[in-house]
Structure 1
């Protein structure tokens, strides 16, 4: 296994007009979201992150059109431990890696999950990823959401993919199974921010939230549930889970946003048992499309539904058929 070397980061971001009047450290956290707030604040204080070529204080106010320039050395993080955790790699070349994350795997170490994460697995797969922001991880999936993720393997690829995320040109599509009989699809355009009371949750908020847009369409209807396909324009924390709850169609098995378990009247015992025991939110990142960060080629990947969601849908279909056979609506 090779020893990771430090690398120099050079990146530039333009301040949007909508951020006029905000503090530099707040804007930097939004525009350079691949780095931690602590690291960005340190770079601002060191003069490694400048505004129109000049060093500023973290609390300095910025104006739309200003250019934030970052030039810094990123050292490998010794506290991140490489661990031999199996990865389901869908595609890999010199610049990017696409993988199918299983439910139950945390993406990044944090309080309560210091190791055993996807990041630890990536460092074992390729030690050089230790020099990249968050080991090349440019977007996340919740612990209990399965499906496709793209990881950058070079700083150039990382910068290009982050820019695509910010430009909303990376296409991400999810399968979800929700509680409630949805009549038709639609769009949720509602800002998301920290829940005012429960700090573990996100919520649709009137002020102070970040723009969030989710498009959804019905794939299959059941008696009291719906299989929907969601496409993200933005990538806020828990976005699909929050937006579906906002529309009063929470995801099956969602421990934070699902609310009290609702069992369908007249439903089969098999379905009721499965709904009681379903171990996670029924959400899977099924499709991922982006431009290759080196040659610009269009890349598109698909991941089949995992076994637990296949079983869930099969059980819902069997319940629907039994109702039909018995003449029960």
Structure 2
């Protein structure tokens, strides 16, 4: 993909001893893969090799409940609901659930459009022409309106295969239910790319992407509805994918239905280019042996708000593209997603024994390695979120076919952590 933008890896006052070397591995190569069997906590020990001054590329409950006092049961249920709310708010997926319930008090939007067929348009099937003329609506929605009589030709209901004639009159009159009852909120958005069809936002850490249990306000969707009210008729205001609450970085949004659908298709066929940067507990030599992590991910068997590597999960592939040593036991990674499962990068890196710093779900005690100064130990233990940032996003423009690539530099908190670990 072409780009005239570059990513700021670390601030200029950071040690210049570590340098990055482009990966020689293609994302499609399977050598050095980290294969996996069904497990919930299988980690391989870290190598203690020292590798400095350069970058390597690459990588049964019921009985228990009956015996509990009612207050304890209520507290337990409350805790479980809170955990589930956090999970729902933070889930990171390529596609959204299509069977989620919508609010019963959704708003109704009036749709009205007219068109007279030109000589150049004559001879086309009505379903194809309608898809071009009314691109804000899906083909499935338009066909449904043709069947129901909301989309007529010369006042008559025609089948989708009907071929239009010059001067035919198309009339679209329908009512469209606004998705959800999410409220617009005046929330500042960091827009890094925008045109008539596409929007790319740099999401700050701590912001939930869309409303859900426990997070009904203050989300990216609430902000989008305020700044772009015309997107109220799009599912989740045009969101194409999502990242965790405590992951910062880039998200692409479709400003029309056609753009949203096309970008979602690109995610499914893996033509969207997504790179993340993260700081992990791991030396360069160990990480270089696991450049591609090909391990299916599914929900944890007992901890239902967590994901895990399991043979029963969905295919998941993560590529470690570059490894920049910060010291003997910590590294800054450039990671590329091939798939986009919930918490994929966090789960995969934890699975191979190199968790992301600050990840209190998948990191645990593996984050602390030997040889740390007190300042470095404190910086790791007090880092308030996973040190993970979606810094580069590339896609094919849904209207022009142009290659679009956008970058967002590492946020200050991750830069500061990297500097401390490099001292």
TM-score range, shorter chain: 0.7 to 0.9
Where does the alignment leave 5 or more consecutive residues of structure 2 unmatched? 1-93, 103-138, 145-174
Cα displacement string for residues 95-153 of structure 1 (whole angstroms, at most 9, x for unaligned residues): 01011111110001111111110110111110111110111001001001111110000
Whether the 8 Å contact between 2:273 and 2:393 is mirrored in structure 1 is yes
1:243 aligns with 2:348: yes
Written as runs of structure 1 = structure 2, the 5 A alignment for 1:82-93 is 82-93=184-195
1:124 aligns with 2:226: yes
Look up the match of 1:259.
Answer: 364
Alignment partner for residue 272 of structure 1, among 377, 385, 392? 377
How far did 1:74 drift?
4.8
Q: What is the RMSD of the two structures over their aligned residues, measured on CA atoms? A: 1.8
Look up the match of 1:282.
Answer: 387
Cα displacement string for residues 209-264 of structure 1 (whole angstroms, at most 9, x for unaligned residues): 11111000343112221111110011111000011011111110001101126433
- C-alpha separation between the residues in 2 aligned to 1:241 and 1:75? 37
Alignment partner for residue 299 of structure 1, among 392, 404, 419? 404
How far did 1:78 drift?
5.4
How far did 1:179 drift?
1.2
Structure with higher RCO (Cα < 8 A, 6+ apart): 2
- In structure 1, the residue corresponding to 2:200 is in which secondary structure? strand
- C-alpha separation between the residues in 2 aligned to 1:35 and 1:265? 43
Alignment partner for residue 172 of structure 1, among 274, 296, 305? 274
Written as runs of structure 1 = structure 2, the 5 A alignment for 1:1-329 is 33-34=95-96, 36-38=98-100, 70-71=140-141, 74-77=176-179, 79-183=181-285, 184=288, 185-207=290-312, 209-221=313-325, 222-260=327-365, 262-318=367-423
Cα displacement string for residues 170-204 of structure 1 (whole angstroms, at most 9, x for unaligned residues): 00000011112241151011111111111111111
TM-score by length of 1: 0.75
Q: Which has the larger radius of gyration?
A: 2
- In structure 1, the residue corresponding to 2:378 is in which secondary structure? helix
Where does the alignment leave 5 or more consecutive residues of structure 1 unmatched? 1-31, 41-68, 319-329
How far did 1:39 drift?
5.7
- In structure 2, the residue corresponding to 1:305 is in which secondary structure? coil
Change (3 A) 1:262 1:231: closer
